[in-house]
Amino acid sequence: MEETFSIVSQEIYRTRQIDISNNPECKKLFRKIANKYLDKYKNQKNDDIESCKKDIVNYSIKYFYKKVHGKPQGKVGDLKQYSNAEEPKDESTMPIPTERDIVDLKQQKSLFEKKDKIYRNLFSSDIRKVVFSVSTSQRTDLTSTTSFTIDIQDKNIADLKNVIGFNLLRAQIPNSRYSINDSNYQRLTEGDITRGDYTANSLATKLIADTSLTSATYSSSTGLFDFNADITTKGVTQADKSLARILGLKYNTNNYTTVGTKSVHKVDIRPNIFFDLEISEIPSIVCNNTEYSNNIVARIPVVGGSGNIENYTANPVDIITEYFQPQRLTKLTIRLLDEFGLEIDFNGVDSYFTFEAVVLKNVPDMGIVLEN
């Protein structure tokens, strides 16, 4: 018995730097544990003494781990209680291991083994890749025009368990957003501009019609607007930045403005420079992190003009090879953001995406929620 207790004491000291070898209370608790196992083996008519000793050691180590770590101050298991100081203790506060304790430990061991199998598979080739396609027309809330939640499990699109990687392979996205849109049409101090697509010349005409300006002309040689008066945005929000890019306005502490009556920067009438594809369910460790979101799965450049379909295919350098802890994916919440982090409204035209999910093979879905 002393030899077995010595093994337990050494392990506790090695992992917790606490010496229980000379603590009489710990010895007394150990004897109770040992006697309980000896009685158990005797009742089962099992004379395998080495197996019994092994069970006693394993259970005792786990039992004392709990007693010397993570307990509230002053209660049983407090670090001070298991120091070498031999103070009188009330033995009635020392719980004897019960059958429930043994069952709990077996469950903990089973959970640990399941987690361990998952983690080992993360660094092996025991994976498979699931390719699936979705459309924004499959969204749960058909009234939403900027955020699309697609229930991939309920719609039987894909059954994704133990997912450890995720990438966008292909996309078809309409460049159907207005240059003057819901985000920026009300940001000019001189008045609201009607939402719609414009050329530089047609926008100049619309500014005269919709705002207090009496003159607005666009010079194709300089790429600048010239107005009859100064114009300013209402602030410096992302929506103000969007309008300032279109009109060629300059940052001025509290707003964006012309210098004199002219644009400062070349007019950029494009509604989008690129699309940032955000999926909130994908862990940020495998996403592009921007000023506006930590869940950008891909940045899709806009090549064509307004009204075109942007056909995107990921290059090998765009494929993210980092893995995250296994999780079940039952839905995707998709948003497309512009360079200012503003949600893009495609005016009812649907987008199409093909994704690749990397999942662990031969690992059952055990319903484990792993810590971040």
Q: Domain spans of the chain?
A: 2-97, 121-177+271-360
Report pLDDT for 314: 95
Burial of residue 141, with CB atoms counted within 10 A of its CB: 0-12 exposed, 13-18 middle, 19 or more buried: exposed
Determine whether 292 is exposed, middle or buried from the number of CB atoms within 10 Å of its CB (0-12, 13-18, 19+): middle
CA distance 9 to 60: 9
The rounded radius of gyration (Å) of the Cα atoms in the chain is: 33
Q: What share of the chain is helix, strand, coil (3-state, %, to 5)?
A: 30, 25, 45
User: Could you give the CA distance from residue 34 to residue 48 in angstroms, rounded to a whole number?
Assistant: 14
CB 256 within 8 A of CB 243: yes
Q: In a 3-state reduction of DSSP, which class is residue 297?
A: strand
* Res 22: pLDDT: 78
What tokens were used for 99?
């059958």
Q: Give the model's pLDDT for residue 304.
A: 83
CA distances from 161 to 97, 98, 128, 283 (A): 37, 36, 11, 15
Cα–Cα distance for residue pair 305/312, rounded to 1 Å: 15
Q: Roughly how many angstroms between the first and final C-alpha of the chain, as a whole number?
A: 42
| Residues 277, 150 contacting (CB under 8 angstroms) | no
Torsion angle (degrees, nearest 10) of CA 115, 118, 123, 124: 140
User: Please, is 62 exposed, middle or buried when counting C-beta atoms within 10 Å of its C-beta (0-12, 13-18, 19+)?
Assistant: middle
Please report the DSSP string for 66-114 in residue order. HHHSSPPTTSTT-GGGGSS------GGGSPPP-HHHHHHHHHHHHHHHH
Query: Which residue, chain included where needed, has tokens 């969007």?
Result: 242
pLDDT computed for residue 68 by the predictor: 58
What is the rounded distance in angstroms from the CA atom of residue 134 to the CA atom of residue 335?
A: 13
Are the CB atoms for 324 and 273 separated by under 8 Å?
no
Q: State the virtual CA torsion across 60, 63, 64, 65 in degrees, nearest 10.
A: 120
Measured distance CA(195)–CA(350) in Å, rounded: 20
CATH label, 121-177+271-360, candidates 3.40.50.970, 2.60.40.10, 2.60.120.1100, 3.30.1300.10: 2.60.120.1100
Element (H, E) at 329: strand 327-329
**Do 130 and 357 contact (CB within 8 A), yes or no?**
yes
Q: What are the structure tokens assigned to 160, written together?
A: 């994704």
DSSP codes joined into one string, 12-37: HHHHH----TT-HHHHHHHHHHHHHH
Q: How many CB atoms lie within 10 A of CB 250?
A: 13
Structure tokens that stand for 148 in this block: 């699309």
Angle 57-63-77 (CA atoms, 0-180°, nearest 5)? 140
pLDDT for position 76: 36
Position 206 scores a pLDDT of: 97
Q: What is the pLDDT along the chain (372 residues), one digit of tens a residue?
A: 677 777 777 776 676 667 777 777 777 887 888 788 877 777 777 777 777 778 877 887 777 776 655 443 333 333 444 444 444 545 445 555 555 665 566 666 666 666 666 566 555 557 889 999 999 999 999 888 899 999 998 888 988 988 999 999 999 999 999 999 999 999 999 999 999 999 999 999 999 999 999 999 999 999 999 999 999 999 999 999 999 999 999 999 999 999 989 999 999 999 999 999 999 999 999 999 999 999 999 999 999 888 899 999 999 988 888 888 888 999 999 999 999 999 999 999 999 999 999 998 877 665 444 333
Q: Which residues pair with 299 in a beta bridge?
A: 276
